[in-house]
Amino acid sequence: MARLPVYLRALNALADAGTATCSSEHLASVAGVNSAKLRKDLSHLGSYGTRGVGYDVEYLRYQIAREIGVTQDWPVVIVGIGNLGQALASFSGFRSRGFRVVALLDADPDRHDQVVAGVEVRPFDDLEGVVRDQGVAIGVIATPAVAAQDVADRMVGCGITSILNFAPAVLAVPEGVDVRKVDLSIELQILAYHQQRKAGVDATTPVPTRKVGSA
Amino acid sequence: MARLPVYLRALNALADAGTATCSSEHLASVAGVNSAKLRKDLSHLGSYGTRGVGYDVEYLRYQIAREIGVTQDWPVVIVGIGNLGQALASFSGFRSRGFRVVALLDADPDRHDQVVAGVEVRPFDDLEGVVRDQGVAIGVIATPAVAAQDVADRMVGCGITSILNFAPAVLAVPEGVDVRKVDLSIELQILAYHQQRKAGVDATTPVPTRKVGSA
DNA sequence: TAGATTGTTAATCGATTAACAATC
DNA sequence: TAGATTGTTAATCGATTAACAATC
């Protein structure tokens, strides 16, 4: 369930604020969801609340972390150490949320031996060795679009079955491999779409002539 | 409709490949969706296809770009020019997809006068002036979580009504303001969740004692 | 017991998709 | 005309949410 990480973050916030117990209503408002939906989601995990009382923040937090699988650290490899790759490698949030960046790989020799966030940048061809030695199951692609499919193929080839793709390209992967995509342009375009509707903009640029049916 | 940008990207790919006409089946496979869904989505925009023939790639591309609102450039301001902010500022995809980064703002004086991707980093207090002068409607937040709400408040205060938030924080904004959130940790956690299920991992770490009901 | 809140049921809503009549 | 493919209908599916019985 894609909302579990959101609940986990909300529970972390409550725990940081020193809250020991919370109702579904309270947690739902922190997480920004409907309380009935929250209760239904949680009921899929088991019966971790107490009727008339609510949820123990620490206990529920652990149960959700266990359900997601972030009670242990997941080794992660990042491929493509350009601006975005470097930013990802430097992102401290990964470490505290159950992930450990074990290798940074890049096809460009000029980037090798560079150190980003304390990790050395290595040749892309080290992929298979790193994945084997470190037991990597999750790969992050931060390369240009043209390279993304090749990187994905190599990742799949050496046993990675979960890929987070930042390259603006649709990846073809075999059954059983999960790909999640973060596409910055698409996020902005969705905002632009809504923004245009708010502003009541009407486009007055010339329309290209229709070609189907003619010629 | 959140899928329009995906179709637009698919159409761009087809146009680059020199395809002049495509069927809903073809376009759907490039975009990675069901063809019936694609036709239904497109039918909301109008009747831009030709029965028995298909869609004119260039014509449909323009129509979708117009619908989204990216036939003109949208001025965008990025706040928080750390690693991620710099990566976003340097991302060439924005320019080609209808967005123009008009200002980079950061509260840290040490970052001022630094130039990232040809744009000078300016004080955060320049926000109101930039938004007014450049007609900015879309703001990007790439600050640490603690600063995000303040930045959002200031943005809303000077008329920005679309926000793309990279900070791992839930933003409270007034009705009418759109916030989209990109959360790197949550994306990875969703992958971890599925990965755990594939691997059949059973967590054997000790469970904290339940506190509700006792004490 | 009385009040509070969960876990679950059932109703509602919207999204997906198969199928096909319209039509190029 | 015959083949192809759209635009749309109607059926299916799943997700959301209000309501409430269970129960602490």
Chain mean position to CA A143: 16
In angstroms, what separates the C-alpha of A69 from chain B's closest C-alpha?
6
**% of chain A surpassing 70 pLDDT:** 93
Does A83 show up as a binding residue in the annotation? yes
pLDDT confidence of A215, banded at 50, 70, 90?
very low
CB contact under 8 A, A192 and B99: yes
CATH number for the segment(s) A74-186:
3.40.50.720
A94 touches chain B (CB under 8 A): yes
Q: Is A139 annotated as a binding residue?
A: no
B112 touches strand D (CB under 7 A): no
Q: Which residue of A lies nearest to B66 if distances are taken between CA atoms? A: A203
Task: Give the start-to-end residue ranges of the domains of chain B.
Answer: 4-68, 74-186
From B52, A165, B214, A99, select the one nearest A89 (Cα to Cα).
Answer: A99
User: Under an 8 A CB cutoff, do A87 and B91 touch?
Assistant: no
Residue range A30-61, pLDDT digits in tens: 999 999 999 999 999 999 999 999 999 999 99
A55-98 pLDDT tens trace: 999 999 999 999 999 999 999 999 999 999 999 999 988 888 99
Please state which of the ranges A4-18, A170-184, B30-44 shows the lowest mean pLDDT. Answer: A170-184
The minimum CA-CA distance between B125 and chain A, rounded to whole Å, is 24
Q: Does A15 touch chain B (CB under 8 A)?
A: no
Say whether residue A90 is in contact with chain B using an 8 A CB cutoff: yes
Q: Is A4-68 CATH 1.10.10.10?
A: yes
For residue A21, the surrounding DSSP H or E stretch is: strand A21-22
A199 touches chain B (CB under 8 A): yes
Structure tokens at A197: 């509707």
Average pLDDT over chain B, rounded to an integer? 91
> Shortest CB distance from A212 goes to which of B50, B162, B180?
B50
B135 belongs to an annotated ligand binding site: no
In chain B, positions 13-52 with C-beta closer than 7 Å to nucleic chain D are 22-25, 35-36, 39-40, 42-43, 47-52
Q: Average model confidence (pLDDT) for chain A?
A: 91
Domain B74-186 in the same topology as domain B4-68: no
Tell whether residue A8 is among the known ligand binding residues.
no
Residue A199 Cα distances to A71, B69, B161, B162, angstroms: 46, 11, 10, 11
A95 → chain B, closest CA residue: B185
Highest mean pLDDT among A165-179, A197-211, B19-33: B19-33
Q: Does A62 touch chain B (CB under 8 A)?
A: yes
Report d(CA A113, CA A96) in Å as an integer: 26
Answer whether residue B21 shows pLDDT above 90: yes
CB of A72 within 7 Å of some strand C atom:
no
Number of inter-chain CB pairs under 8 A, A vs B: 234
Q: Do B164 and A188 touch (CB under 8 A)?
A: yes
A51 beta carbon to strand C: under 7 Å: yes
Q: Enumerate residues 6+ apart whose C-beta is below 8 A from B91.
A: A83, A84, A184
pLDDT > 50? residue B96: yes
Residue A212 has pLDDT above 70, yes or no: no
| Gap between the Cα atoms of B215 and B203, Å rounded | 27
